[in-house]
Chains A and B, each alone.
Chain A
Amino acid sequence: MSWSAHDYDDIPGTYVFNGRRSTTGYPLNRMCMSFNSAENRDAFLRDEDAYCTKFGLTPQQRAAVHARDVLRLVKLGGNIYYLAKLAGIFGLNVQDIGAQQTGKSLDEFKAMLVAAGE
């Protein structure tokens, strides 16, 4: 297979959610979509492995879910809006996962945003 190049491919630290990433990420994103239901969130918490199996996640995606590694999940085709639903189960919001992806503490991440806005 040959995937087309784009003008956004070389923006550092940025994984634009295109067809290539969406193809890889489909099972993962479909699982995350199911978390709109409280019943499904509970089922995931009761048996994470069984829940991931049901949606056909790859071994790499399952390992990254298990590690709560959002950056890895992005690289494995997760879309950040869908991953936010997974992160929400663990009580993490977009600032928490921003901090995690940039290797900063939450306070450092918030301080970076305030400084960038000045």
Chain B
Amino acid sequence: MATIVGGITTSHIPAIGNAIAKGKQNDPYWKPFFDGYPPVRAWLDAVKPDVAVVVYNDHGLNFFLDQIPTFAIGAASQYSNSDEGWGLDVLPPVSGNPALSWHVIESVMADEFDVAMCQQMTIDHGVMVPMSLLWPGGGTWPLSIVPLEVNTVQHPLPSPARCYRLGKALGRAIRSYPEPLKVVVLGTGGMSHQLQGERAGFINRPFDLMFMKTIANDPDALAGYSIGDLVAAAGSEGVELIMWLVMRGALGDRVSTIHSHYHIPVSSTGAGVLVLENAA
């Protein structure tokens, strides 16, 4: 049977992709951010996952407001990246695993999560930035992915509690897949940031640090937030943190924090990195 080797959280903001493209990892502004990642890559080198389920949100590349699914799961054999309009390098495609995708879709549907099913899905910086951070080297990706897209653009958004329960369904789906695959789940986005309005530039270090601790030890407490609570505490774009709860739900009730790193600000965002494993 497939196993979940752990979960990772990471920011996915485009500025990180630009910094990687320009080789700014050791630049004084960027170094404290990029310093959070070598331990994550060392962990990945040790556990060698076969597949990553990437929980992310589309920002207007694959989906437009004409038709917005709340949850969408990719079921393609390959996912391409494409021009998002503001100059980020287009990266090579990432391979998929249709059999695992369809198993996950069937399993979460049986668990009453009625997801959109996508046999073509163009993946934006929400996937590509985490891929570039975790598997650097210009796009020879060493594993395949199952993209799980969550609407964080058009309100109403799924509640934190709903996302956490989707994660639990995702965990049951992965663990019931008959092949002995090693699967890592990535919760991307966040942390606190706001890009719009007179409150643009709002960030919240105490909230981010609380969130990083609590998601490991007491995720039910975070699942009790409303979307309005999250907008107030983490900013209008900080609501992306609901995707961390999907990742957390896929893990067990008790987890060990293998690695934790926080840096603020990167561009206009608080950036938190976690590696969580199921507790023995």
Cβ contact within 8 Å between B83 and A26: no
Could you pull out 18 A-B pairs where Cβ atoms are within 8 angstroms? A13-B198, A14-B236, A16-B236, A29-B65, A30-B66, A36-B61, A81-B60, A81-B153, A87-B86, A94-B195, A95-B268, A98-B268, A101-B200, A103-B198, A109-B201, A112-B201, A117-B205, A117-B270
Residues on A with C-beta less than 8 A from B87 are: 88
Residue B203 at the chain A interface, CB threshold 8 Å: yes
Residues on A with C-beta less than 8 A from B64 are: 29-30, 33
Of A22, A93, A94, which is in contact with the most chain B CB atoms at under 10 Å from its CB?
A94
Question: Out of A19, A37, A98, which one reaches B201, CB within 8 Å?
Answer: A98
Residues on B with C-beta less than 8 A from A81 are: 59-60, 153, 195
Residue B156 at the chain A interface, CB threshold 8 Å: yes
Cβ contact within 8 Å between A8 and B199: no
Which A80-108 residues have C-beta < 8 A from chain B?
80-82, 84-85, 87-89, 93-95, 97-98, 101-103
| Distance of A36 from chain B, by nearest CB (Å) | 5
Number of interface residues of A (CB under 8 A): 49
Residues on A with C-beta less than 8 A from B236 are: 14-17, 80
Residues on A with C-beta less than 8 A from B194 are: 14
Residue B181 at the chain A interface, CB threshold 8 Å: no
Interface magnitude class on chain B: 35 or more
Binding site for B on A (CB under 8 A): 6-8, 11-19, 22, 26, 29-30, 32-33, 35-38, 41, 71, 74, 79-82, 84-85, 87-89, 93-95, 97-98, 101-103, 109, 112-114, 116-118
Residues on A with C-beta less than 8 A from B199 are: 11-14
Q: Which residue of A lies closest to B237 (CB)?
A: A80
Q: How far is the CA of A15 from the CA of B153 in the complex (A)?
A: 12
Binds A, one of B34-42, B46-54, B225-233: B225-233
Q: Which residue of A lies closest to B156 (CB)?
A: A18
